[in-house]
Amino acid sequence: MLPAEAFSLDSRAARVCHLPDRTGQFVGRERELRLLDAAFGEAGGLVVHAVHGLGGIGKSTLAAHWAAVHAADFNPVWWITAETETDLDSGFAALGRALQPALVGILTEEAFRERTIQWLASNGGWLIVLDNVSDPAVIRPLLARAPGGRFLVTTRRSSTSWRGIARTLDLDVLAPAEAVELFTGIYDGPADGVEELCAELGCLPLAVDQAAAYCREAGVTPRVYLDFLARYPADMYAATAEGGDAQRTVARVWQVTLDALADTPIAVQILRIIAWWAPDEIPRGYLEGIGSPLEVTDAVRRLAAHSMVKVRGDVLSVHRLVQAVSRAGTPEEMAVTRHEAARMLSGKTQRTQVFGEAERVWATHVEALAGCLGEEFDTELLVSLFTMAAMNLTRGHSRRSMALLERVARAVERNPGWDSRETVRGAMLPMYMLNGHYDLAQPLAEEQLALSERERGACHPDTFSARISLADVLRHTEPERAQAMAQEVAERAVEALGSDHPVAFTARLTLREMTRQHPDRPTFEAQVAEAERVLGDDHFSVAVLRRNLVEELREAGHLDRAVVLAEKVVAQYRHHLGATDMDTLNARITHIHLLALVDDAPRVHELLPDFIADLSRAVGDTPEGRNVIDQAVALLRHREA
């Protein structure tokens, strides 16, 4: 016969608290703690709040810390690992045993679970933490039976999975300073390299904790760990301190999610491909061809639902450590996914611009691919991608462009038999010039001229173009020789090709620039008209000449004509260079200034916000960048006045 207490449960049990010991190394998260304070401070009714995010991002640590700080405000306070329905049942049965220890050995597990849920349904003032809920459907019946109290949930499932069930809090990585604080709270050795290591780990709390514990236990510095990470990534992401939880390593935590996605193989394939690209600004369009549009969309949806990627409109992002773990595999597996990542980027090179925003994004992904592998893996396909990316980055990102270009140069030297060798070397010439490395450009220009003379003849248009390029280079290395060559090329090109040939016109234009001839305005207008006729209205050289003519018209007081022409110039610069190129931005502010001069205030106010936004994107959110913006706005206001 059961004792009397088996049939009753006090409405207010003795204080009961069960929380994991995860609060010792807690750092940061002030905003998130305030949000939880506000959410759980509301009076009456059931409150369910789900903290969601990538595995290892610190959801459980945040929940444990908040619950420990507020343990005195609730009774009972109970932590349940709730990944499966079985886990949930076991957790509530354990709470039942803690509430009524006298019944241990008398009631079954199922009876304890049911009595506990009944008690929760009849009482308030309690806090239950449901950790690592893998499927909201598992806890939905429980929530329906509990009209009061507080549930704090941690989950990898995104906010959309919790609609109508819980309010959500999206947890992100630590701030850089917080990551360093976490690392140095565990590791008390030499601090050199801590910031770089935390950055390499993407400020992911689990990875930072794992690295700090390893460094402390192994007696190695952060820089040594960085070296190990580069050389043995799979081993390091799986390593844990002695006595540590082998299930709580970066590699293991994410493998659980990958296992859950096994029924959607395209999702795993996408993850392994984007692992070779930059972590941010991944256009959805890059994934075309992996499967049908519906299959790709569903795969992205599942990755986002499990917090493996973030989706913002048509752009994806992925944590850099998710990428590192996803890249890892056998040499054969890595070769396959690396080639697929390169092949898919190759299919996105057909652009209308060279220097636009989309091209910069594409180049960033190629640059990331280059950074993931040693030069011994460079193939003809990869080198062709590196060459195009270097060109995309020449305007505004010279250092990055040159790094890729130097790698390309080494690759073509190592592989003289490549079919694309001469094409690649020819593409390197204008990039050296755009990056201001005329000493490197000169031997290439001379080589290209000799090759064209040998294969096409001295009077071929391509040969004259090669001479013009060499003269352009010599202008910076041997000015006197450059002017003599420009004079000769202009005369011979007109004689061989005719004055209306585009190459002959370009030769004459180059000569004029070198001799600094500055014709009067009528002559200049005639030259612009000739350029439009010979080169075509959309040629970039025409845009440059028109831009110079805008200044001539402004100085002459022909403001209405200048406004019309300036608008054409802006459209051409946008087309060729993109909206955020500094030359485009200069053309745009000139146009806005001219509109102010002709008292077209509505048009000024229409264009100015977009201009400021694009200028901000171009110069960045830095003190120097903000100063440029302030100067531009002040200059414009001064001109308007």
Q: What is the mean pLDDT of residues 389-404?
A: 85
Residues 6+ apart with CB under 8 A from 341: 273, 274, 275, 276, 277, 369
Same-domain status, 159 and 35: yes
Q: How confident is the model at residue 7 (pLDDT cuts 50, 70, 90)?
A: very low
Convert the pLDDT of each residue in 518-562 to its tens digit. 667 887 888 889 888 888 888 888 998 899 899 889 988 999 999
Q: What is the mean pLDDT of residues 299-319?
A: 88
Cα distances (angstroms) measured from residue 372 to each of 230, 233, 277, 323, 368: 9, 12, 9, 10, 6
Is 404 within the bounds of a domain?
no
> Domain range for residue 213?
176-252
Q: How confident is the model at residue 279 (pLDDT cuts 50, 70, 90)?
A: very high
Phi-psi domain of 45 (left: phi exceeds 0; alpha: psi -120 through 50; beta: other):
left
Same-domain status, 625 and 524: yes
Is the pLDDT confidence value at 129 over 90? yes
* Residue type for position 602: P
According to the model, what pLDDT value does residue 320 have? 84
Note the helical H segments in 264-379: 265-274, 293-305, 320-327, 331-346, 357-371
Same-domain status, 17 and 36: yes
Same-domain status, 153 and 210: no
Report the CATH number that the domain containing residue 160 is assigned in CATH: 3.40.50.300
SS3 track for 62-105: HHHHHHHHCHHHCCCEEEEECCCHHHHHHHHHHHHHHHCHHHCC
Burial class (CB in 10 A: 0-12, 13-18, 19+), 230: exposed
Task: Note whether 391 and 365 are within 8 A (CB).
Answer: no
According to the model, what pLDDT value does residue 245 have? 56
Convert the pLDDT of each residue in 179-223 to its tens digit. 999 999 888 888 888 999 999 888 888 888 888 888 888 888 999
Q: How far is CA 555 from the centre of its chain?
A: 44
Which of 252, 285, 313 finishes a domain? 252
Q: How confident is the model at residue 636 (pLDDT cuts 50, 70, 90)?
A: low
Task: Note whether 45 and 193 are within 8 A (CB).
Answer: no
| 491, 492, 498, 502 alpha-carbon torsion, rounded to 10° | -90
Same-domain status, 624 and 575: yes
What six digits make up the tokens of 477? Answer: 């290395």
Convert the pLDDT of each residue in 17-31 to its tens digit. 888 876 567 888 889
Distance between CA 599 and CA 593 in Å, rounded? 10
Sequential DSSP letters for 2-70: --GGGG---SSPSP-EE--S--TT----HHHHHHHHHHHTS-SS-EEEEEE-STTSSHHHHHHHHHHHT
Same-domain status, 245 and 335: no
Is 27 within the bounds of a domain?
yes
Task: Note whether 221 and 192 are within 8 A (CB).
Answer: yes
Which of 252, 271, 294 finishes a domain? 252
Paired strand residues for 81: 131
Over pLDDT 70: what percentage of the chain? 90
Is 145 within the bounds of a domain?
yes
According to the model, what pLDDT value does residue 242 have? 58
Is 432 within the bounds of a domain?
no
Paired strand residues for 4: none
Tally of domains in the chain: 4
Same-domain status, 17 and 127: yes
Same-domain status, 544 and 630: yes
Is 366 within the bounds of a domain?
no
According to the model, what pLDDT value does residue 569 have? 94
Same-domain status, 585 and 613: yes
What six digits make up the tokens of 239? Answer: 């390593």
Task: Note whether 566 and 546 are within 8 A (CB).
Answer: no
Which of 188, 222, 252 finishes a domain? 252
Report the CATH number that the domain containing residue 285 is assigned in CATH: 1.10.10
Burial class (CB in 10 A: 0-12, 13-18, 19+), 185: middle
Report the CATH number that the domain containing residue 627 is assigned in CATH: 1.25.40.10
Is 402 within the bounds of a domain?
no
Mean pLDDT of the chain: 84
Same-domain status, 560 and 610: yes
According to the model, what pLDDT value does residue 270 have? 94
Is 583 within the bounds of a domain?
yes
According to the model, what pLDDT value does residue 591 have? 93
Is 180 within the bounds of a domain?
yes
Task: Note whether 91 and 41 are within 8 A (CB).
Answer: no
Same-domain status, 97 and 62: yes
Is the pLDDT confidence value at 1 over 50? no
Same-domain status, 73 and 190: no
